[in-house]
Protein backbone atom coordinates (compact mmCIF):
# COMPACT_ATOMS: atom_id res chain seq x y z
CA UNK A 1 0.00 0.00 0.00
CA UNK A 2 1.42 3.38 -0.99
CA UNK A 3 1.19 6.22 1.54
CA UNK A 4 0.09 9.83 1.25
CA UNK A 5 -0.42 12.04 4.31
CA UNK A 6 -0.22 8.86 6.47
CA UNK A 7 -3.28 7.39 4.68
CA UNK A 8 -3.15 3.96 3.06
CA UNK A 9 -3.84 4.13 -0.67
CA UNK A 10 -3.80 1.43 -3.34
CA UNK A 11 -3.17 3.25 -6.64
CA UNK A 12 -3.84 0.11 -8.68
CA UNK A 13 -7.42 -0.58 -7.70
CA UNK A 14 -8.43 2.60 -5.87
CA UNK A 15 -10.30 0.39 -3.47
CA UNK A 16 -12.46 1.82 -0.79
CA UNK A 17 -10.47 2.91 2.23
CA UNK A 18 -10.27 0.52 5.16
CA UNK A 19 -12.94 0.72 7.85
CA UNK A 20 -12.24 2.87 10.88
CA UNK A 21 -10.00 0.98 13.32
CA UNK A 22 -12.14 -0.26 16.25
CA UNK A 23 -11.60 1.51 19.57
CA UNK A 24 -10.41 -1.02 22.17
CA UNK A 25 -10.80 1.35 25.11
CA UNK A 26 -13.74 0.60 27.38
CA UNK A 27 -13.79 4.06 29.04
CA UNK A 28 -15.78 2.36 31.76
CA UNK A 29 -15.18 4.94 34.50
CA UNK A 30 -17.47 7.42 32.77
CA UNK A 31 -20.17 4.91 31.83
CA UNK A 32 -21.06 3.14 35.07
CA UNK A 33 -22.72 5.46 37.53
CA UNK A 34 -19.66 7.30 38.87
CA UNK A 35 -20.71 10.76 37.66
CA UNK A 36 -23.16 12.83 39.67
CA UNK A 37 -24.30 15.57 37.29
CA UNK A 38 -24.38 18.93 39.10
CA UNK A 39 -24.73 21.68 36.50
CA UNK A 40 -25.04 24.34 39.19
CA UNK A 41 -21.49 23.85 40.47
CA UNK A 42 -20.06 26.57 38.26
CA UNK A 43 -22.79 29.13 38.91
CA UNK A 44 -20.47 30.91 41.33
CA UNK A 45 -17.81 31.23 38.65
CA UNK A 46 -20.29 32.83 36.28
CA UNK A 47 -21.44 35.16 39.04
CA UNK A 48 -17.83 36.07 39.76
CA UNK A 49 -17.05 36.78 36.08
CA UNK A 50 -15.27 33.61 35.08
CA UNK A 51 -12.38 31.66 36.49
CA UNK A 52 -11.13 28.09 36.65
CA UNK A 53 -10.90 27.37 40.39
CA UNK A 54 -13.21 27.96 43.32
CA UNK A 55 -13.56 26.92 46.94
CA UNK A 56 -16.91 25.75 48.23
CA UNK A 57 -17.75 25.99 51.94
CA UNK A 58 -19.33 22.89 53.49
CA UNK A 59 -21.10 22.80 56.83
CA UNK A 60 -19.51 20.39 59.29
CA UNK A 61 -21.37 17.98 61.54
CA UNK A 62 -22.48 18.99 65.01
CA UNK A 63 -19.91 17.84 67.53
CA UNK A 64 -18.53 18.57 70.99
CA UNK A 65 -18.94 16.86 74.35
CA UNK A 66 -22.44 16.75 75.74
CA UNK A 67 -22.88 18.45 79.14
CA UNK A 68 -24.51 17.08 82.24
CA UNK A 69 -27.88 18.72 82.93
CA UNK A 70 -27.88 18.58 86.71
CA UNK A 71 -29.00 22.01 87.83
CA UNK A 72 -25.49 23.17 88.77
CA UNK A 73 -23.44 22.86 85.59
CA UNK A 74 -23.38 25.90 83.32
CA UNK A 75 -24.42 25.31 79.71
CA UNK A 76 -21.70 26.41 77.30
CA UNK A 77 -22.15 26.51 73.54
CA UNK A 78 -19.74 25.78 70.70
CA UNK A 79 -19.93 26.41 66.95
CA UNK A 80 -19.56 23.85 64.24
CA UNK A 81 -16.62 23.80 61.83
CA UNK A 82 -16.96 24.91 58.24
CA UNK A 83 -15.04 22.80 55.78
CA UNK A 84 -13.67 23.90 52.40
CA UNK A 85 -13.37 21.99 49.14
CA UNK A 86 -11.24 23.29 46.28
CA UNK A 87 -12.51 22.50 42.78
CA UNK A 88 -10.57 22.86 39.53
CA UNK A 89 -11.90 23.03 35.97
CA UNK A 90 -9.99 20.83 33.53
CA UNK A 91 -9.57 22.26 30.04
CA UNK A 92 -8.67 20.11 27.05
CA UNK A 93 -8.43 20.77 23.29
CA UNK A 94 -7.49 18.94 20.10
CA UNK A 95 -7.47 19.57 16.38
CA UNK A 96 -7.44 17.33 13.32
CA UNK A 97 -6.22 18.44 9.89
CA UNK A 98 -6.85 16.70 6.57
CA UNK A 99 -5.72 17.54 3.04
CA UNK A 100 -8.14 17.67 0.14
CA UNK A 101 -5.74 15.56 -1.88
CA UNK A 102 -5.93 12.68 0.65
CA UNK A 103 -9.67 12.43 0.12
CA UNK A 104 -9.31 12.70 -3.63
CA UNK A 105 -6.74 9.89 -3.81
CA UNK A 106 -8.58 7.49 -1.52
CA UNK A 107 -12.19 8.46 -2.10
CA UNK A 108 -12.62 8.72 1.68
CA UNK A 109 -13.32 11.74 3.87
CA UNK A 110 -11.02 11.52 6.88
CA UNK A 111 -12.46 14.39 8.91
CA UNK A 112 -13.77 13.02 12.24
CA UNK A 113 -17.47 12.42 12.69
CA UNK A 114 -19.25 13.79 15.75
CA UNK A 115 -19.46 10.35 17.39
CA UNK A 116 -15.73 9.84 16.85
CA UNK A 117 -14.94 13.12 18.57
CA UNK A 118 -17.16 12.13 21.50
CA UNK A 119 -15.42 8.76 21.71
CA UNK A 120 -12.06 10.51 21.69
CA UNK A 121 -13.05 12.81 24.55
CA UNK A 122 -14.55 9.91 26.53
CA UNK A 123 -11.04 8.44 26.55
CA UNK A 124 -9.59 11.84 27.52
CA UNK A 125 -12.05 12.10 30.43
CA UNK A 126 -11.20 8.61 31.65
CA UNK A 127 -7.49 9.43 31.56
CA UNK A 128 -8.17 12.52 33.69
CA UNK A 129 -10.30 10.56 36.16
CA UNK A 130 -7.66 7.84 36.51
CA UNK A 131 -5.06 10.58 37.05
CA UNK A 132 -7.24 12.06 39.81
CA UNK A 133 -7.49 8.67 41.54
CA UNK A 134 -3.72 8.23 41.26
CA UNK A 135 -3.18 11.69 42.73
CA UNK A 136 -5.52 10.99 45.64
CA UNK A 137 -3.53 7.91 46.59
CA UNK A 138 -0.31 9.91 46.30
CA UNK A 139 -1.41 12.43 48.96
CA UNK A 140 1.21 13.04 51.64
CA UNK A 141 -0.74 15.18 54.13
CA UNK A 142 0.31 14.00 57.58
CA UNK A 143 -2.96 15.13 59.16
CA UNK A 144 -4.98 12.17 57.89
CA UNK A 145 -4.36 8.46 57.39
CA UNK A 146 -6.63 8.21 54.36
CA UNK A 147 -4.07 6.66 51.98
CA UNK A 148 -2.92 4.01 54.45
CA UNK A 149 -6.45 3.10 55.53
CA UNK A 150 -7.85 3.01 52.00
CA UNK A 151 -5.07 0.95 50.43
CA UNK A 152 -5.19 -2.84 50.69
CA UNK A 153 -2.31 -4.80 49.17
CA UNK A 154 -1.69 -8.53 48.91
CA UNK A 155 1.23 -10.29 47.20
CA UNK A 156 -1.08 -12.88 45.65
CA UNK A 157 -4.21 -13.12 43.54
CA UNK A 158 -7.48 -11.88 45.06
CA UNK A 159 -9.56 -14.43 46.92
CA UNK A 160 -13.08 -14.67 48.31
CA UNK A 161 -12.43 -12.41 51.31
CA UNK A 162 -10.07 -9.67 50.10
CA UNK A 163 -12.75 -7.23 48.95
CA UNK A 164 -14.59 -7.35 52.27
CA UNK A 165 -11.35 -6.97 54.21
CA UNK A 166 -10.32 -3.97 52.13
CA UNK A 167 -13.65 -2.18 52.55
CA UNK A 168 -13.79 -2.88 56.29
CA UNK A 169 -10.24 -1.57 56.73
CA UNK A 170 -11.15 1.62 54.91
CA UNK A 171 -14.64 2.42 56.13
CA UNK A 172 -15.60 0.03 58.91
CA UNK A 173 -19.35 0.18 59.48
CA UNK A 174 -19.71 2.50 56.46
CA UNK A 175 -18.55 -0.10 53.94
CA UNK A 176 -22.03 -0.45 52.46
CA UNK A 177 -21.42 2.89 50.72
CA UNK A 178 -19.31 1.11 48.10
CA UNK A 179 -21.09 -0.04 44.97
CA UNK A 180 -18.75 -0.78 42.07
CA UNK A 181 -15.25 -2.15 41.45
CA UNK A 182 -13.16 -1.40 38.37
CA UNK A 183 -10.54 -4.05 37.63
CA UNK A 184 -8.17 -5.31 34.96
CA UNK A 185 -9.34 -8.27 32.88
CA UNK A 186 -6.62 -10.52 34.32
CA UNK A 187 -7.88 -9.91 37.85
CA UNK A 188 -11.46 -10.51 36.75
CA UNK A 189 -10.49 -13.68 34.90
CA UNK A 190 -8.74 -15.10 37.96
CA UNK A 191 -11.83 -14.40 40.07
CA UNK A 192 -14.03 -15.96 37.43
CA UNK A 193 -11.84 -19.09 37.38
CA UNK A 194 -12.37 -19.38 41.15
CA UNK A 195 -16.14 -19.05 40.66
CA UNK A 196 -15.99 -15.78 42.60
CA UNK A 197 -17.13 -13.60 39.72
CA UNK A 198 -20.31 -14.13 37.76
CA UNK A 199 -21.01 -11.91 34.80
CA UNK A 200 -24.51 -10.52 34.44
CA UNK A 201 -26.38 -11.62 31.36
CA UNK A 202 -28.88 -10.16 28.94
CA UNK A 203 -31.03 -11.57 26.16
CA UNK A 204 -30.61 -9.99 22.75
CA UNK A 205 -33.33 -9.36 20.17
CA UNK A 206 -32.87 -12.87 18.78
CA UNK A 207 -33.48 -14.48 22.15
CA UNK A 208 -29.82 -15.42 22.64
CA UNK A 209 -28.42 -15.03 26.15
CA UNK A 210 -25.12 -13.14 26.24
CA UNK A 211 -22.65 -12.00 28.90
CA UNK A 212 -22.33 -8.35 29.83
CA UNK A 213 -18.94 -6.90 30.82
CA UNK A 214 -20.35 -6.34 34.30
CA UNK A 215 -20.30 -8.99 37.03
CA UNK A 216 -20.45 -9.15 40.83
CA UNK A 217 -17.77 -9.86 43.44
CA UNK A 218 -18.55 -9.81 47.15
CA UNK A 219 -21.85 -8.15 46.31
CA UNK A 220 -20.28 -5.25 44.38
CA UNK A 221 -20.70 -4.67 40.68
CA UNK A 222 -17.49 -5.37 38.77
CA UNK A 223 -16.58 -3.52 35.59
CA UNK A 224 -13.69 -4.93 33.56
CA UNK A 225 -11.38 -2.42 31.91
CA UNK A 226 -7.73 -2.92 30.99
CA UNK A 227 -7.07 0.80 31.46
CA UNK A 228 -6.92 0.16 35.20
CA UNK A 229 -3.36 0.74 36.49
CA UNK A 230 -0.72 -1.97 36.51
CA UNK A 231 3.00 -1.97 37.26
CA UNK A 232 5.76 -4.47 36.46
CA UNK A 233 8.44 -5.42 38.97
CA UNK A 234 9.86 -8.23 41.08
CA UNK A 235 8.80 -10.16 44.17
CA UNK A 236 11.09 -12.02 46.56
CA UNK A 237 11.58 -15.69 45.68
CA UNK A 238 13.67 -18.76 46.46
CA UNK A 239 15.75 -20.94 44.17
CA UNK A 240 12.83 -23.35 43.84
CA UNK A 241 10.24 -20.71 42.87
CA UNK A 242 9.06 -21.24 39.27
CA UNK A 243 10.63 -18.58 37.06
CA UNK A 244 13.01 -17.41 39.80
CA UNK A 245 16.04 -15.35 38.80
CA UNK A 246 19.22 -15.17 40.83
CA UNK A 247 20.33 -11.60 41.53
CA UNK A 248 23.98 -10.91 40.68
CA UNK A 249 26.06 -7.76 41.00
CA UNK A 250 26.70 -7.65 37.24
CA UNK A 251 27.26 -9.85 34.21
CA UNK A 252 23.98 -11.75 34.45
CA UNK A 253 23.66 -14.90 32.37
CA UNK A 254 20.69 -17.21 31.77
CA UNK A 255 18.59 -17.59 34.91
CA UNK A 256 20.17 -14.50 36.48
CA UNK A 257 19.45 -10.78 36.61
CA UNK A 258 21.65 -7.81 37.41
CA UNK A 259 20.94 -6.01 40.69
CA UNK A 260 20.81 -2.66 38.87
CA UNK A 261 18.12 -4.03 36.53
CA UNK A 262 15.98 -5.14 39.48
CA UNK A 263 16.21 -1.69 41.01
CA UNK A 264 14.97 -0.05 37.80
CA UNK A 265 11.61 -1.77 38.16
CA UNK A 266 8.44 -0.17 39.55
CA UNK A 267 8.71 -2.36 42.66
CA UNK A 268 11.15 -4.89 44.12
CA UNK A 269 12.05 -6.35 47.56
CA UNK A 270 13.24 -3.49 49.75
CA UNK A 271 16.46 -5.16 50.91
CA UNK A 272 17.28 -7.00 47.67
CA UNK A 273 20.97 -7.78 47.18
CA UNK A 274 23.27 -10.01 45.21
CA UNK A 275 22.67 -13.78 45.70
CA UNK A 276 18.97 -13.20 46.47
CA UNK A 277 16.26 -14.61 44.20
CA UNK A 278 13.42 -12.66 42.60
CA UNK A 279 10.56 -13.48 40.28
CA UNK A 280 8.93 -11.18 37.74
CA UNK A 281 5.49 -9.97 38.86
CA UNK A 282 2.82 -7.46 37.97
CA UNK A 283 0.79 -5.41 40.43
CA UNK A 284 -2.79 -4.68 39.39
CA UNK A 285 -4.82 -1.89 40.97
CA UNK A 286 -8.55 -2.41 41.48
CA UNK A 287 -10.55 0.67 42.40
CA UNK A 288 -13.70 0.28 44.48
CA UNK A 289 -15.92 3.36 44.69
CA UNK A 290 -19.27 4.52 45.90
CA UNK A 291 -22.02 5.38 43.47
CA UNK A 292 -21.70 8.88 41.95
CA UNK A 293 -18.29 9.36 43.53
CA UNK A 294 -17.49 12.29 41.22
CA UNK A 295 -19.61 15.41 41.08
CA UNK A 296 -19.57 16.40 37.43
CA UNK A 297 -20.27 19.46 35.33
CA UNK A 298 -19.65 20.04 31.65
CA UNK A 299 -18.69 23.68 32.09
CA UNK A 300 -18.49 24.45 28.39
CA UNK A 301 -16.38 26.87 26.35
CA UNK A 302 -17.14 29.86 24.15
CA UNK A 303 -16.61 27.86 20.94
CA UNK A 304 -16.45 24.10 21.55
CA UNK A 305 -16.04 23.01 17.90
CA UNK A 306 -15.16 24.86 14.73
CA UNK A 307 -13.88 24.19 11.24
CA UNK A 308 -11.20 26.17 9.47
CA UNK A 309 -10.26 26.01 5.81
CA UNK A 310 -6.87 26.94 4.35
CA UNK A 311 -7.23 26.90 0.54
CA UNK A 312 -3.54 27.67 -0.07
CA UNK A 313 -1.48 25.13 1.88
CA UNK A 314 -0.95 21.82 0.06
CA UNK A 315 -3.71 22.74 -2.35
CA UNK A 316 -6.36 22.90 0.37
CA UNK A 317 -6.54 21.85 4.02
CA UNK A 318 -9.49 21.50 6.42
CA UNK A 319 -8.98 21.59 10.19
CA UNK A 320 -11.43 20.69 12.92
CA UNK A 321 -10.71 22.40 16.26
CA UNK A 322 -12.32 21.13 19.48
CA UNK A 323 -12.25 22.33 23.08
CA UNK A 324 -13.86 21.38 26.39
CA UNK A 325 -13.84 22.40 30.06
CA UNK A 326 -15.13 19.98 32.67
CA UNK A 327 -15.30 19.51 36.43
CA UNK A 328 -14.67 16.13 38.05
CA UNK A 329 -14.88 16.61 41.83
CA UNK A 330 -14.12 13.55 43.99
CA UNK A 331 -16.24 13.17 47.11
CA UNK A 332 -14.66 14.84 50.18
CA UNK A 333 -11.32 15.38 48.42
CA UNK A 334 -10.07 18.91 47.72
CA UNK A 335 -7.83 20.19 44.92
CA UNK A 336 -5.15 22.50 46.33
CA UNK A 337 -3.34 23.94 43.27
CA UNK A 338 -0.09 23.44 45.20
CA UNK A 339 1.75 22.07 42.15
CA UNK A 340 -0.10 23.47 39.14
CA UNK A 341 1.71 25.63 36.59
CA UNK A 342 -1.07 27.06 34.41
CA UNK A 343 -4.84 27.61 34.51
CA UNK A 344 -5.71 23.96 33.79
CA UNK A 345 -4.06 20.90 35.36
CA UNK A 346 -2.32 18.41 33.10
CA UNK A 347 -2.88 14.67 33.67
CA UNK A 348 0.52 14.60 35.40
CA UNK A 349 -0.55 17.42 37.72
CA UNK A 350 -3.83 15.65 38.46
CA UNK A 351 -1.75 12.59 39.44
CA UNK A 352 0.50 14.68 41.73
CA UNK A 353 -0.39 14.04 45.36
CA UNK A 354 0.63 17.57 46.31
CA UNK A 355 -2.48 18.86 44.55
CA UNK A 356 -4.94 16.90 46.70
CA UNK A 357 -5.98 16.73 50.33
CA UNK A 358 -8.91 15.46 52.34
CA UNK A 359 -11.50 18.20 52.84
CA UNK A 360 -10.76 20.16 56.02
CA UNK A 361 -11.61 23.38 57.81
CA UNK A 362 -8.71 25.31 56.24
CA UNK A 363 -7.16 26.29 59.56
CA UNK A 364 -3.50 26.06 60.55
CA UNK A 365 -2.04 22.66 61.34
CA UNK A 366 -2.66 22.88 65.06
CA UNK A 367 -6.38 23.52 64.54
CA UNK A 368 -6.94 21.69 61.24
CA UNK A 369 -9.84 19.24 61.30
CA UNK A 370 -10.43 16.78 58.46
CA UNK A 371 -13.54 15.02 57.25
CA UNK A 372 -13.57 11.50 58.69
CA UNK A 373 -11.84 9.28 56.14
CA UNK A 374 -14.53 6.61 56.63
CA UNK A 375 -16.96 8.89 54.79
CA UNK A 376 -14.90 8.73 51.58
CA UNK A 377 -16.03 5.67 49.56
CA UNK A 378 -12.81 5.03 47.67
CA UNK A 379 -10.41 2.10 48.02
CA UNK A 380 -7.52 0.80 45.98
CA UNK A 381 -6.79 -2.93 46.14
CA UNK A 382 -3.36 -3.92 44.84
CA UNK A 383 -2.83 -7.57 43.98
CA UNK A 384 -0.85 -9.87 41.72
CA UNK A 385 -4.00 -10.78 39.85
What pLDDT score was predicted for residue 110?
Answer: 62
Q: How far apart are alpha carbons 284 and 221 in whole angstroms?
A: 18
How large is the average pLDDT for residues 298-326?
86
Residue 13 has pLDDT above 50, yes or no: no
Q: Which domain holds residue 311?
A: 2-62+78-229+284-383
Residue 20 has pLDDT above 60, yes or no: no
Residue 99 has pLDDT above 70, yes or no: yes
Lowest mean pLDDT among 109-118, 254-263, 304-313: 109-118
Residue 173 has pLDDT above 70, yes or no: yes
Model confidence over 204-241: pLDDT tens digits? 677 766 666 678 898 899 988 999 999 999 999 999 99
How large is the average pLDDT for residues 272-297?
96
Q: Model-level pTM?
A: 0.84
Cβ neighbors of 320 (< 8 A, separation 6 or more) are 95, 96, 97, 111, 112, 117, 305, 306, 307
Calculate the average pLDDT of the chain: 84
Residue 381 has pLDDT above 70, yes or no: yes
Provide the pLDDT confidence category of residue 104 given band limits of 50, 70 and 90: low
What pLDDT score was predicted for residue 361?
Answer: 86
What pLDDT score was predicted for residue 6?
Answer: 43
Residue 1 has pLDDT above 50, yes or no: no
Provide the pLDDT confidence category of residue 15 given band limits of 50, 70 and 90: very low
What pLDDT score was predicted for residue 12?
Answer: 40
Cβ neighbors of 226 (< 8 A, separation 6 or more) are 26, 184, 185
Residue 11 has pLDDT above 50, yes or no: no
Model confidence over 57-91: pLDDT tens digits? 777 666 777 778 778 888 887 667 778 889 999 99
Residue scoring higher pLDDT (303 or 163): 163
What pLDDT score was predicted for residue 18?
Answer: 31
Domain assignment present for residue 189? The answer is yes
Strand positions, DSSP E, 141-290: 151-153, 178-183, 198-203, 209-217, 220-224, 230-237, 245-248, 256-258, 277-290
Domain assignment present for residue 40? The answer is yes
What pLDDT score was predicted for residue 46?
Answer: 53
What pLDDT score was predicted for residue 105?
Answer: 64
Residue scoring higher pLDDT (317 or 131): 131
Model confidence over 333-362: pLDDT tens digits? 999 999 999 999 999 999 999 999 999 888
Domain assignment present for residue 99? The answer is yes
Would you tell me how many other CB atoms lie within 10 Å of the CB of residue 106?
Answer: 20
Domain assignment present for residue 241? The answer is no
Strand positions, DSSP E, the chain: 2-4, 7-9, 35-37, 53-59, 82-99, 151-153, 178-183, 198-203, 209-217, 220-224, 230-237, 245-248, 256-258, 277-290, 294-298, 305-310, 317-330, 333-335, 356-358, 378-383
Cβ neighbors of 157 (< 8 A, separation 6 or more) are 187, 190, 383, 384, 385
Domain assignment present for residue 146? The answer is yes
How large is the average pLDDT for residues 138-163?
92
Residue 282 has pLDDT above 60, yes or no: yes
Provide the pLDDT confidence category of residue 14 given band limits of 50, 70 and 90: very low
What pLDDT score was predicted for residue 206?
Answer: 75
What pLDDT score was predicted for residue 49?
Answer: 44
Domain assignment present for residue 44? The answer is yes
Provide the pLDDT confidence category of residue 22 given band limits of 50, 70 and 90: low
Residue scoring higher pLDDT (260 or 368): 260
How large is the average pLDDT for residues 107-112?
66
Number of domains, the chain = 1
Q: How far apart are alpha carbons 199 and 80 in whole angstroms?
A: 46
Domain assignment present for residue 259? The answer is no
Would you tell me how many other CB atoms lie within 10 Å of the CB of residue 125?
Answer: 21
Amino acid sequence: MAKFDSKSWNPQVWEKYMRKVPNTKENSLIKNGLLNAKPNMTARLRDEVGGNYFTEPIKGLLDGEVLNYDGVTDLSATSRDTFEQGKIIIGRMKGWTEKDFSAELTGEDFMPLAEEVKEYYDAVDQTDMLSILKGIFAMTDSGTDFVAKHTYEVDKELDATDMNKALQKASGDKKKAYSVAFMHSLVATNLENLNLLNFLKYTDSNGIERDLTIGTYNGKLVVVDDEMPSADGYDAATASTPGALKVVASGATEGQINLAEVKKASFYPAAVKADDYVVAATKYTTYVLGEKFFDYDNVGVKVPNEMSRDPKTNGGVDTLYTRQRKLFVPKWISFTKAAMQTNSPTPAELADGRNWEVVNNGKSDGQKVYVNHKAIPLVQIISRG
